[in-house]
Structure 1
Amino acid sequence: MTTPYGAAPLRLDPPVLDPSDLGRVRRAAAFVAANDTASVLAALLPGLGGAERDAVAAHTAFAHAAVLVFPSAQDGLPGLLRGEGLDTGPVTPSVVVRERLARRYGRSVDALEVGILRAPVAAADGSACEVEIFALSVPPGSGLDTVAAGERAHDHEAHLAFEVTTADPVVLAGLRATLLADGRTTADGGGHNAYEDSTVLYFRTPVEHGHLRLELTARGHHPGVLAAHGRSADRPAEQLLQLMTGAWATQAVAVAAELRLADHLDTTPRPTPERLAALTGTDPDALRRLLRYLAALGVLAPDGDTYRPTPVGLPLRSDGEGSLHPLALLYGGPFYRSFGELGYAVRTGRDAFVHTFGEHHFPYFARHPGLADLFDRSMAAGAAMFGPVAELADFARARTVVDVAGGNGELLGRILGAHPHLEGVLLERAHVVEAARDTLVKAGCADRCRLVTGDFTEAVPEGGDVYLLSRVLHDWDDRQCLGILRRIAGAMPAHAELLVVERLLPGPGEDPSLAVPWDVHMLCNVGGRERTAGHYAALFAEAGFTLAGVAELPLGGALLTARRAG
C-alpha cells in the first residue's frame, strides 16, 4: 500500500492535516484503485487455494479501505480531500471508532471528536469501491498527540472490508469457516448494526509487518453466525470443557517447543511424520497424535501428509524474529508446576511458587543457571511490547536515559538507536548485565551506555532526564512499589520524566485484556499484581508523581508517562 508522490501536500492556514496523514489517505486511495476483490484476497490470504479463493470471490466484493487521520480540526477537511480528487461529502459522526479509541487510551468519550468521510474510488476492475476516512480531531494543546502517535504507530483502525453479495446465513457461515481455517485469520469480534441493518464479522489477518483487520459485512441480522464467531457462547458446556482442558494445551505447546517442531516443520521440503519422529526422537504414533492436537489448537495446519506451522505457531521457532519459544518452555515448566498450587495462593494470598519450590522465583532461578537463562530469554521474548516506545515518548530535550532493572537492554537499545543524541545508564544484577552488554553491542550503542551492577531496591543512579521502569512494578505489592517509586523520585531531577511499561487491567466497561490472566499469574508465581491505570495513578501520586499520559503498546502493554508533582 505504498505509492510515491512527488507533489507537495495541500495545506490550509492553519494546517488541517499532517502531511504524513495525507500520504496515508493517498496510499489507501491508490491501493483501492490498483486492486480488486481477487487481488486483495490473494494478498491478504495467500493460504487460500485457487478453488477456495474463487468461492470466496464469488460471494464477496471488495468494498473499502479504511484509514484513521488526525486533523487539527474537521472544518475544511472535505475541501482538502477534494483537492486530492476525493469527493467525500460532509463529515458525519463515527460513534464506534470514537468508543474504541476512548477504551484503548483511557479517555473520556466526550473528550474525543471522531468523524467519518467516505470517498468513492473505482477499483481496478471498475467496480464501485470506497476509501473510508476516520478523523480524530487533535487541536493544539488538547493532549491528544499521544493518541495520534499510538494510532500512527499501530494503525489499529486501518482495515479492508468485503461485502457479502449473497447475504444468506449459510453462505456467511461458510465464508467465516473458510477464512478461519488453518489459522489464516483469527476472529476479532463482530456485531449487528441496527441503523444499517447489517452484520459485521471482524478478523485479524497476518501480513508482512504485523496484523491487519479484515471486515466481512452482510445485509441483515445473522445471530447464529455472530454467536459462532464468539467463544462458543451458545454452547456453554462445550466452552467449559475447553476451559478445563487448557492445561493440556499449555503442555502440548511446551512439548512442541521442547521438540522444536516449528523449526523442523518450517523447512522445504517439510519432513514426513516418520522423518519428524526420527529427528525428534519420539514415538511415531504418539507424535502423530500430538501433531493432530496442535492442528486443532491452530498452532499447525495439515500440509499434504505432514504439517506446517500456522501464523500462530511460527513464533515457536527457536530462532525466529519475535520468538516466544522460551516463554513456552517457562510456562510449561516451573511456572506450570507452581500454577498447580493456585488454590493455595487464593486461600492464603501468598506466592504459590514459594510454597512449591521453597523460595521466591528470583533467588531460585539465580541458583539454577539454566532456569535463570530461560527466564531472561523469556523476558526478552516479550520485546515486541517495546516497539513504539522510542516514538511515543518525547526524548527531544533529554540527554541521559536511566533504565532501572533494564533486563537484557532491549528497550534501552531501541531508544538509543532511535535517538543518537542520547546516552544511557542500565542498572541490573551482575549476570544480567553481561547479557545487556551483548544486546547493546549488537544495537551499535554500547559506547553510549554505562552498565551499573546493583539492586534497584537499594539505590538508583541519579541525574537522568528520563527513567525507565519496564515490567518491574507488577512484580511487587503496593508498599514495595511505593518504595521503588520514591527511590526513583529521590534520584530524579525536577525536570525528569518516568516512563513505565506494564499491562493494564481493564476498567469498568472496557474490553478484557491480557492483564487479567497475567494478574493471576503474578498472584500465583511472583507475589505481585497487575493494576488499572487509575491504580497506578494513585501510586504515582502517593510517591510524588503525576500521571501525564497513557498509550497502548503491543502484546497488551501500555506506556505510562509520569512527572514529578509540583
Structure 2
Amino acid sequence: MITALSGDTSRLRATVDFVKEQDTATLLPLLLPGLDGPELRALAERCDFSHAALIVFPPDEAALDAALADCGLVADAPPRPSVVVRERLAARHNRSAAELDVRILRPSVECPDGARRMVEVFALAVPPESALDTVAAQERERQHEAHVAFEVEAPDPLVLRGLCATFGRYGATPDGGGYNPHENGTVFYFTAPAEAKAGYRRVELYVPGDHSDVLAAHLDEHRTRQPAETLLRLLTGAWTTQALAAFARLGVADAMDEGRGVSVAELAEEAGVLAPNLATLLRYLTMLGVVSEDRDGFRLTDTGGLLRADAEGSMRPLALMYGGPFYESFAGLEHTVRTGQVAFEQCFGENHFDHFARDPELAELFDRSMTAGSRMFDPLPAHPVLGAAAEGATVVDIAGGAGELLARILSAHPRLHGLLLERPHTVETARRLLDTAGLTARCTFRAGDFADVPAGGDVYVLSRVLHDWDDERCREILRHCARAMSDTADLLVIERVLPTDGSPSLATAWDLHMMCNVGGRERRADHYARLFADAGLTLVGVAPLPLDGSVLHVRRTGAANAGSTA
C-alpha cells in the first residue's frame, strides 16, 4: 500500500508540473494537431485551460492531505461528490455506485505566467485489504480519468455546439460526459486524436450550468461510435419499462419524500419488499434519472416524482398500463407485422375497448392513463377558435374520455357550455370529474357512439380518436361529424402527426403502438387532409402541442370565412 500511495504522490507531482508548464494557446495545438491560425485564436478566446486531472486512491483522508501537502497543494474548499466519475467507475468495474464514494478537490497552482490553474483530484478511499483494491490497481494502470480541461467562458448553446464541432474537425471524438448537480456544471469529454502530443488523450470542456440539450447530442454521437453498446442499450428497453412499472406498482415512489433522501431499508419496510432487491432496482432507476442517490439515501427526481399517485399530472397509470396489458401484447408484434392481425386481440381474445370495458379496474386504469398524458392539452384552451367562440357557445367533446380536456376548456372559458359524448361507464367517470371541478352546471353528458354526434354545436373536439381506427372507419366518424356541423361550426382534431422529414417524434413510436395494440395508426398532416376531404371537410390549419401533439383545425368544405390557424 505504501508503494501504491507513493505512486499516487508521484503522479500528483507530475500533474502539478504539467499545469505550470502549459497555457491555452500552447496546449490546444498539442491536443488537436493541425489547429492553427484563426480557428486556434477563436477557440482560445472562448475557452481557457483550467486544470489537469487524475484519480488517486489514498487509504484515508489523512493520507490524501499528506500527499497534497507533499506536492505543495492546498484544497481551497471541502471535497464534493463527483457524480460523473463515480458513475463511470461503477459502469467500468460493474460495481454499485453507492460503494464508490468518489470525492473531488481542486487545489490551485500558481503558474509562471501569473495565472492560477488547478489540479483536479478525484479521490476514492481504499483502506488496506479493501474489496476496492482491484479497482484502484486497474485505474492506476490505465489512467482512464486522467485528462486536461478547458473551461468555457461564455456558456451559450451556439458557442458550445461550435466548440464541439471544432474539436470534431481536428480528430477529437466524443467520450461521454454528464451534469454534476452538486456544483451545477456540465462536462463534455473527448478523446484526442492518436497523434496528439500533450501526453493526455482525454479532454474535458467544463461549462457552468445545466446544458442538457447540447449534452444529449454529444452523448448521442458518443453512442453512435459504439454500435454494440448502442444495440445492447436498445435491447434492454423492456427492462426499463418493467423497472418503471414495478417502481410504481410497488408504491416505492409514494414512499419516497421528494425533499429528503430515504434509506433502502426504510423504503423496503414501507413497501413490503426485500431490501437487497430493491437496492438493485433503485440503482438501475438512478442510471435512468428517475431517482438520485447521495449520502442520505435515495430521493425522487422531477421525472420520478411523476410516478407518485398523488403527483400533479401523475403518469403512474401510464406506467401500469404500458408495463401491464400493453406490455403483454407487445410480445405479439412479430405476429402483427407478419399477418396484419392486432397483437392485443391475439393475446386477449378481443379488442382493447371491449377487454377494458369488461373489467372495471382495467377500464378505470385506461381512463386514468389517457388523462395522464393531458399535458398535451395545456395550450389548447388558448386556441383562437375557442377564444373567438360566442357567449353561450357549446363545445362538443366527441369520445371525450374522463372529461379532462373538456374540463380544461370550460375552466378557461366561463362563457362556454360543454357536451361530452362517451360510452356509458366512462360518462359516469367524466361526470364525477367535472362535478369535482364545479363545472356540471355548464355541461351535458350523453351516452352514445359516433353515430350519435349531436347537431347544434359550435366547436367540436375529436381528441386522440382517429388514430384508433383504419382509414375507412375514420371517414365514417368524420362524416358523422360533418353531418352534425353547421357551416359556422369548427372541428378541432388533436393527434400526434407523423413528421414528413423522418425526424425523431413520439408520433413514430405511437404509430408502432397503435398498429400492435389497437389496430390504428398515426398519420401525416396530408393524410389527415385527404380523410377530411373525403368526409366533406377541409383542413384549415395545424398548430403544435406539447408531447409532439398537434391540433388540426377543420371546417366544412366551402364554409364561409374559413380562416387558417396555422
Q: Same fold (TM over 0.5)?
A: yes
Q: Secondary structure at the match of 2:306?
A: helix
Separation in 2, partners of 1:263, 1:366: 28
Task: Name stretches of at least 5 consecutive residues in structure 1 with no aligned partner.
Answer: 1-46, 65-158, 188-199, 206-212, 218-224
Larger Rg, first or second structure (1 or 2): 2
Q: Deviations over 1:419-447 (max 9, x none)?
A: 12111111011111122122222333221
Deviation at 1:281, TM superposition (A): 1.2
Name the structure 2 match of 1:351: 342
Deviation at 1:297, TM superposition (A): 1.9
Letter paired with 2:152: T
Q: Secondary structure at the match of 1:177?
A: strand
**CA RMSD between the two structures:** 3.8
Instruction: Answer yes or no: is the 8 Å Cα contact 1:59–1:166 preserved in 2.
Output: no
Deviation at 1:62, TM superposition (A): 4.8
Deviation at 1:494, TM superposition (A): 1.0
Instruction: Answer yes or no: is the 8 Å Cα contact 2:151–2:207 preserved in 1.
Output: no
Q: Which one is further off, 538-547 or 226-235? A: 226-235
Q: How many residues align?
A: 397
1:519 has 2:506 as partner = no
Name the structure 2 match of 1:234: 225
% identical aligned pairs: 49
1:296 has 2:287 as partner = yes
Name the structure 1 match of 2:177: 177
Equivalent residue in structure 2 for 1:264, among 245, 255, 266: 255
Higher relative contact order (CA 8 A, sep 6+): 1
Name the structure 2 match of 1:449: 443
Name the structure 2 match of 1:321: 312
Instruction: Answer yes or no: is the 8 Å Cα contact 1:61–1:163 preserved in 2.
Output: no
Instruction: Answer yes or no: is the 8 Å Cα contact 2:496–2:506 preserved in 1.
Output: yes
Letter paired with 1:351: V
Name the structure 2 match of 1:308: 299
Name the structure 1 match of 2:38: none
Q: Secondary structure at the match of 1:319?
A: coil
Q: Deviations over 1:254-291 (max 9, x none)?
A: 00011122222234543311111111111111111111
Q: Secondary structure at the match of 1:59?
A: strand
Q: Deviations over 1:458-486 (max 9, x none)?
A: 22111111100000000000000000000
Letter paired with 1:59: E
Name the structure 2 match of 1:422: 416
Separation in 2, partners of 1:319, 1:500: 30
Instruction: Answer yes or no: is the 8 Å Cα contact 2:255–2:267 preserved in 1.
Output: yes
1:549 has 2:541 as partner = yes
Instruction: Answer yes or no: is the 8 Å Cα contact 2:177–2:219 preserved in 1.
Output: no
Name the structure 2 match of 1:503: 496
Name the structure 1 match of 2:378: 387
Q: Secondary structure at the match of 1:313?
A: helix
Letter paired with 1:505: L
Name the structure 1 match of 2:76: none
Q: Secondary structure at the match of 1:241?
A: helix
Letter paired with 2:358: R
Separation in 2, partners of 1:52, 1:425: 64
Name the structure 1 match of 2:433: 439
Instruction: Answer yes or no: is the 8 Å Cα contact 2:394–2:416 preserved in 1.
Output: yes
Deviation at 1:394, TM superposition (A): 2.0
Separation in 1, partners of 2:164, 2:518: 53
Q: 1:204/1:350 Cα in 2 relative to 1: closer, same or farther (>3 Å)? A: farther
Deviation at 1:51, TM superposition (A): 7.7
Deviation at 1:312, TM superposition (A): 2.3
Letter paired with 2:480: R
Instruction: Answer yes or no: is the 8 Å Cα contact 2:395–2:416 preserved in 1.
Output: yes
Separation in 2, partners of 1:53, 1:463: 72
Task: Name stretches of at least 5 consecutive residues in structure 2 with no aligned partner.
Answer: 1-82, 85-101, 108-117, 121-148, 188-204, 559-566
Separation in 2, partners of 1:559, 1:58: 45
Instruction: Answer yes or no: is the 8 Å Cα contact 1:161–1:216 preserved in 2.
Output: no
Q: Deviations over 1:477-536 (max 9, x none)?
A: 0000000000010011111111011111111x2521001111111111111111111111
Q: Secondary structure at the match of 1:380?
A: helix
Q: 1:201/1:173 Cα in 2 relative to 1: closer, same or farther (>3 Å)? A: farther
Letter paired with 2:408: R
Name the structure 2 match of 1:489: 482
Q: 1:268/1:422 Cα in 2 relative to 1: closer, same or farther (>3 Å)? A: closer
Q: Secondary structure at the match of 2:376?
A: helix
Separation in 1, partners of 2:239, 2:208: 26
Instruction: Answer yes or no: is the 8 Å Cα contact 1:61–1:165 preserved in 2.
Output: no
Q: 1:181/1:529 Cα in 2 relative to 1: closer, same or farther (>3 Å)? A: farther
State the TM-score, normalizing by the size of structure 2: 0.63
Deviation at 1:397, TM superposition (A): 3.2
Separation in 1, partners of 2:518, 2:208: 34
State the TM-score, normalizing by the size of structure 1: 0.63
Q: Secondary structure at the match of 1:317?
A: coil
Q: Deviations over 1:67-113 (max 9, x none)?
A: xxxxxxxxxxxxxxxxxxxxxxxxxxxxxxxxxxxxxxxxxxxxxxx
Deviation at 1:250, TM superposition (A): 0.7
